[in-house]
Structure 1
């Protein structure tokens, strides 16, 4: 799965869905800020609110330094859902520090129009929003749906640092317990799905202790990679329906990443080291070792078992460790099935 080059404010907002249809009635008209943001704002009662941006900005400044808890959803011009925080956060809000609005016309200014309990619908020019956020035009996967983006927001609370930290810790504990219970229920279902798929497609699979099924279709004679080493991999990722959601061919080159450091999904960190350099294989990865209950974007649904056809092109030694303070920037490599 390609690492997303997405429109973020900040990255925490796209960790995950809201159903705001009830507060987006057709008879409510968009207003517009001087910077070009089209907006509708609704109060706790679901009725449209008349917002004066200057008054809202003054109220927002009083909250700078506080933590906002909110649910967000991004949609394309064709109303395709890009991100859903309720889904990604299993119903819990994301929490983001409120900062001074540095750039007008972006997501920060949109959020500044809202108070606790408010809901908002904001429409942006996709290119303009991306340039303000990343310095570059909107990526093709967004623009292919049209050159506007709509952001739906529901503000849960605005809290001080201590209250927000306590709420976040409680939410994390609840989320982990909920995720574990779901994973335990999903594992046998995934295992059955994989077995049925293998039988239907005449695949003579082997199985790891964690539940990955694999078939080496072309043995290699080179070394197997070890943790920390850099691997180069050609791959095609598909749902079991046969729909391809990603491939290295789309990038025009193999992808590279270090083994065993969490920069890719767990199924890759475990599955790729099963192969010798030069090997080709099929990896059938249960959802718990892929994108789990959250799924990934519009292409990979929740609880999806994934098939990867892979080729281990190269294995290189781990780079020498650099002194503290001189480490290069982190993040998943371009093209890798990103870790969770």
Structure 2
């Protein structure tokens, strides 16, 4: 799964905003400015129904976040009048007044917040560019969620079933490493790695979210952790200190879809202090599969 590049998203924004020759402005029920770009004059969602949409969160020309490129379409339940609270997402103000095929921009002034997040200290207004995709009833939404849950459960079971194969590959890699039979790549940081299967996807950049299935073991082969028992990969932003340094370094050398062995010295693992059942000054081995780059 590949996230759209900023230039492409900017192009989509320009197209979205220029789709209608006449733009109209209005004020939402909570006083936010709403600028319409495309109005189909179709049916609006009623309370209890779900709005499916695409969104770009930005400040002027700088994109803060976007749903484009994700494999999950955002959806949100439209509340009844007496269900609105201070925590009700501001975009509901716009979506409740839109129809399938509509596009609009909601302007949210940050001075309306009790406390502005530090990252937004120099931003006065956030723009939400919304493309309304479809309306689904509560029954349709629940049926869809059940289908997603069933698919996820099946995927988790399939992942768990792979563990014996993964263990065998890890044991062989460790044996080959000790025998000097691996054509290792070595980094200046001290990390050694071997790519068993090279993926065809992109190589992740610092800050991008990655999903990694892993099997971790000591150099004597004893396993201390793995993702296969859980049935789900570990997800983290690369290069942001949310994983051990050996992962931040090693995963950065892999293309999406790759399977690799990482031989991690203590300095790139848990250092002198160790962690949980991992003693200090312990070199570690991981068989990793980079499944997603977002």
| TM-score, length basis structure 1 | 0.42
| TM-score, length basis structure 2 | 0.48
Indicate the structure with greater strand content: 2
Larger radius of gyration: 2
Higher-RCO chain (CA-CA 8 Å, sequence separation at least 6): 1
